């Protein structure tokens, strides 16, 4: 089925099927990434290793991303989403199953985790490419928001389902169940995903893209994209660091591990809500910059609350606000980056933005640990420095111009 727009191009209903199987691939990959975070103690006993070794099972995703991000973006932009995302989904499914079959052999589990991590950039870097291939201009931030929403749903599913399944089935059976689920998702993506609709979901000419290397050189020279890279460096770095150290952040103020876990979960729930609401409003009002500025300003307010909250209710409120605004900035920023760097390929801009976040995440995680108070364990100094960086990101967002594609769409509507 398809519908005609005012400018005589078709938008196909099958776009929602493609987006749905893409979201499943994202969810499965992120669920397998976060598997060991909520069961660190049980995992150390099962594998007979240290807490740091279990932490490495998650950290390896950031490390692998540094090396695989650019090749994955090149594959997405050169061979398309069906092949490239298919590779990521299959890597997630196959190595997820192998992880489940490895038993208590930590070395084999780590090797399988690296295989799953290799699949991550092939999947995550394609969110704006899926939106551009299948969705019209006024739905692309919404599509990118739903694609990003799958990241948060995967993390939340891993946080909630992993302890439950490990308790009911045992750790080995839980890992095996995760692997079977990921393999089924890979099969669904391969069977149902399509590269493009029969006709482009945009006016003639807008579907053209430059060569990957030409696009990379073009966007790296572009001032507006450099500002966006800096904003993503700060925003994703803050999220990765805060979500990693959430228990250590709140423990010195007397909050329990259970309360810390609920705080982290509420931050993700806030991100889920934000990833739905703000991109939808961005598409409706055909504006990117105001919503990016609002998202960074809201994240700053959340950071202040998270740093100084003395009561549990205030802490939960701050976590929700931080997640709502900080994580909603991602999909709007991804789409904004694709629009300001056009005709550079979307996978390249998407991959570079995520790469900046992964680099910052590693730096901020180790930096917060190094600046922790040796006597009380307080991370207030680190959080104040992160607040300063988020404030800097707010001023950088103000310097951004509006996306040219959005302005062009407004001009076309006015002419009609």
Q: Is 49 helix (H, G, I), strand (E, B) or coil?
A: coil
User: Given this model, what pLDDT does residue 344 score?
Assistant: 67
Q: How far is CA 146 from CA 130, 328, 352, in A?
A: 11, 10, 20
**192 and 256 co-located in one domain:** no
**191 and 254 co-located in one domain:** no
Given 143, 169, 200, which residue is the final one in a domain? 200
User: Given this model, what pLDDT does residue 43 score?
Assistant: 86
- Tokens 């703000």 belong to 278
- Would the pTM count as exceeding 0.85? no
**94 and 187 co-located in one domain:** yes
Residue 416 domain-assigned (yes or no): no
**49 and 135 co-located in one domain:** yes
Residue 315 domain-assigned (yes or no): yes
User: Given this model, what pLDDT does residue 3 score?
Assistant: 47
User: Given this model, what pLDDT does residue 409 score?
Assistant: 52
The range of the structural domain enclosing residue 226 comes to: 210-406
User: Given this model, what pLDDT does residue 50 score?
Assistant: 83
User: What token pair was written down for 347?
Assistant: 């996978």
**150 and 273 co-located in one domain:** no
Residue 164, domain CATH = 1.20.1250.20
Decide: 322 and 242 in contact? Cβ < 8 Å.
Answer: yes
Q: How many CB atoms lie within 10 A of CB 177?
A: 15
Helices 51-79 and 81-101, packing angle to 10 deg = 160
User: Given this model, what pLDDT does residue 205 score?
Assistant: 52
DSSP 8-state code for residue 410: H
Round to whole Å and give the CA distance between 76 and 140.
18
Instruction: Provide block-wise average pLDDT over 10 residues at a time, the chain (416 residues).
Output: 54 92 96 84 87 82 88 88 96 97 94 97 89 83 83 84 86 95 98 89 53 60 87 90 80 79 86 87 86 94 93 94 89 82 71 83 84 86 95 94 65 47
User: Given this model, what pLDDT does residue 410 score?
Assistant: 52
Preceding omega of 343 cis (within 30 degrees of 0): yes
User: Given this model, what pLDDT does residue 248 score?
Assistant: 76
Given 135, 170, 200, which residue is the final one in a domain? 200
Q: Is 10 helix (H, G, I), strand (E, B) or coil?
A: strand
**187 and 277 co-located in one domain:** no
Q: Is 12 helix (H, G, I), strand (E, B) or coil?
A: strand
Residue 4 domain-assigned (yes or no): no
Residue 341 domain-assigned (yes or no): yes
**159 and 241 co-located in one domain:** no
User: What token pair was written down for 115?
Assistant: 């295989």
User: Given this model, what pLDDT does residue 346 score?
Assistant: 65
User: What token pair was written down for 50?
Assistant: 């240290």
User: Given this model, what pLDDT does residue 46 score?
Assistant: 92
Given 144, 170, 200, which residue is the final one in a domain? 200
User: Given this model, what pLDDT does residue 214 score?
Assistant: 56
**180 and 273 co-located in one domain:** no
Residue 273 domain-assigned (yes or no): yes
Residue 348 domain-assigned (yes or no): yes
Half-sphere exposure of 231 (CA within 13 A, CB side): 31
User: Given this model, what pLDDT does residue 216 score?
Assistant: 63
**159 and 238 co-located in one domain:** no
Residue 1 domain-assigned (yes or no): no
**227 and 352 co-located in one domain:** yes
**147 and 69 co-located in one domain:** yes
User: What token pair was written down for 272?
Assistant: 């889920």
User: Given this model, what pLDDT does residue 27 score?
Assistant: 96
Residue 92 domain-assigned (yes or no): yes
Q: Number of folded domains in the chain?
A: 2
User: Among 314, 315, 353, which Cα is nearest to 128's?
Assistant: 353
**126 and 151 co-located in one domain:** yes
């Amino acid at each position: 089925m398809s519908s005609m727009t005012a400018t005589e191009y078709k938008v196909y209903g099958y776009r929602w099927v493609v987006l749905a199987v893409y979201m499943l691939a994202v969810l499965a990959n992120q669920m397998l990434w976060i598997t060991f975070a909520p069961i660190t103690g049980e995992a150390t006993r099962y594998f007979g290793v240290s807490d740091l070794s279990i932490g490495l099972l998650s950290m390896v995703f950031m490390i692998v991303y540094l090396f695989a991000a650019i090749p994955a973006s090149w594959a997405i932009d050169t061979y398309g989403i069906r092949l490239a995302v298919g590779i990521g989904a299959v890597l997630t499914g196959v190595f997820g199953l192998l992880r489940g079959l490895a038993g208590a052999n930590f070395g084999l589990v780590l090797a399988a985790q690296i295989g799953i991590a290799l699949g991550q950039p092939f999947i995550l870097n394609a969110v704006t490419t899926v939106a551009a291939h299948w969705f019209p201009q006024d739905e692309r931030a919404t599509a990118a928001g739903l694609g990003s929403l799958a990241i948060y749903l995967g993390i939340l599913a891993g946080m909630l389902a992993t302890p439950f399944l490990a308790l009911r089935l045992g750790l080995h059976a839980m890992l095996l169940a995760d692997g079977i689920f990921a393999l089924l998702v890979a099969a669904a993506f391969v069977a149902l995903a399509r590269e493009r609709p029969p006709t482009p979901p945009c006016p003639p000419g807008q579907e053209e893209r430059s060569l990957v290397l030409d696009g990379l050189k073009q966007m790296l020279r572009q001032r507006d994209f450099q500002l966006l890279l800096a904003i993503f460096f700060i925003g994703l770095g803050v999220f990765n660091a805060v979500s990693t150290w959430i228990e250590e952040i709140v423990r010195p103020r007397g909050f329990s591990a259970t309360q810390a876990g609920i705080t982290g979960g509420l931050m993700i729930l806030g991100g889920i809500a934000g990833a739905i609401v703000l991109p939808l409003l961005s598409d409706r009002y055909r504006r990117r910059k105001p919503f990016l500025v609002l998202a960074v300003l809201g994240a700053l307010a959340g950071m202040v609350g998270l740093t100084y909250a003395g009561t549990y209710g205030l802490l939960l409120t701050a976590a929700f606000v931080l997640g709502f605004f900080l994580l909603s900035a991602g999909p709007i920023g991804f789409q904004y980056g694709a629009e300001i760097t056009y005709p550079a390929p979307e996978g390249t801009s998407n991959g570079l933005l995520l790469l900046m976040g992964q680099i910052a995440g590693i730096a901020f995680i180790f930096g917060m640990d190094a600046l922790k108070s040796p006597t009380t364990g307080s991370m207030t100094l680190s959080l104040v420095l992160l607040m300063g960086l988020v404030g800097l990101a707010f001023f950088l967002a103000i310097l951004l111009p509006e996306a040219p594609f959005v302005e062009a769409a407004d001009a076309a509507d006015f002419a009609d």
